[in-house]
Amino acid sequence: MVLMIAAILLLLPAIIAPLRRNNFYLIHASLTALAAYFIENRYFPQADIADFIAGWKSVMLIFIVLHLTFINLTTFIAYGVDKRAAQRGAWRIPEMQLHSLEFLGGWGGALLGQVFFHHKNKKRSFQAFFWALLFLELGLIFGILKYMNFI
């Protein structure tokens, strides 16, 4: 399972261009790989593939909760770093990198970062893209949960 998740995390930057130079994505990918390692060793220490298949829904739910926790924390930190860089006149995080973190599930951390740091909350083009991305993602999540019979 850890190898499968690590492979997916390594392939995502090849598919999603803004992730290629996103250092915050690397932090998230590392935390997510650690979460996968934790799940595998905690819940399936010596399980065979049949046990994994039998409990895949609960494993996925645990993994999704850990993923969302890590991506939201990473996105919140990215907003703080970008705000600090804006105040100092230093190198900024490109908006597409922030949006890519939001799309991976970090929209809660992004919203909190916008409120807490007062960052990117007045720029209309950024806000329009942010909210469009949020509603698109919520629609995708609803469709996936419906397809997997979670709801």
pLDDT in tens, 60-86: 777 778 888 888 999 999 999 999 998
pTM of the model: 0.76
Instruction: Answer yes or no: is pLDDT of 54 > 70.
Output: no
Instruction: Answer yes or no: is pLDDT of 136 > 80.
Output: yes
Predicted pLDDT at 53: 63
Q: Print the domain residue range for 69.
A: 2-147
Name the nearest CA neighbour of 98 among 80, 122, 124.
80
More confident residue, 4 or 104: 104
Predicted pLDDT at 35: 76
- The band of 130, judged by pLDDT with boundaries at 50, 70 and 90, is very high
- Let me know: does 44 contact 5? Beta carbons within 8 Å: no
Instruction: Answer yes or no: is pLDDT of 116 > 90.
Output: yes
- The band of 1, judged by pLDDT with boundaries at 50, 70 and 90, is low
Name the nearest CA neighbour of 148 among 67, 61, 69.
61
Each residue of 7-40: pLDDT tens digit? Answer: 777 777 777 776 667 778 777 777 777 777 777 7
Looking at the structure of the chain, the number of domains it has is 1
